[in-house]
Amino acid sequence: MLRRIVPDVVCAQSILALQDRERVVHAARAMADRRVGSVLVMHGPALVGIFTGTDLIGRVVAKGRSPARTMLRTVMTPSPQTVAPGDLAIEALRLMHASGFRHLPVVEGDAVIGIVSRRDFLAEEEDEMERERRIWEQVR
């Protein structure tokens, strides 16, 4: 059965989104409190970036930046790739796999609907990805 992003994967989600002028320490605390690995970065109502635990380590801590003084806009991943609510879950998982990231915003028009992470997917999609990987290895 092919699942759609919304409502099959993203349902009744409370989105963690902060303005781009917020400090990294605020984002890190919010992520820890919510037990999530990313925050959507907004400029007003518009999605302008995403900030993840990986960004915190690689762009802030490892670079010796102060989380209390560093703004999200300076260390976020700008203009993240997105998926639409009607997209298939397997397509979102393929995009994450091919691009090497674990979080993907779900956007409809200019509105942020939610966010999916690799851990949101069922074994069904993971099994399909593994099947496709094996097929590509045989073709090469």
pLDDT tens readout for residues 48-82: 999 999 999 999 999 999 999 999 999 999 999 99
Residues 82-97: tens digit of each pLDDT: 999 888 888 888 899 8
Cα torsion through 119, 68, 82, 132, rounded to 10: -40
* Residue 111, H or E segment: strand 111-117
Residue spans per domain, the chain: 15-139
Pairing of strands 38-43, 46-52: antiparallel
CATH topology of domain 15-139: CBS-domain (3.10.580)
Q: Which residues, including other chains, have CB under 8 Å from residue 74's CB and lie 6 or more apart?
A: none
- What's the predicted TM-score (pTM) here? 0.81
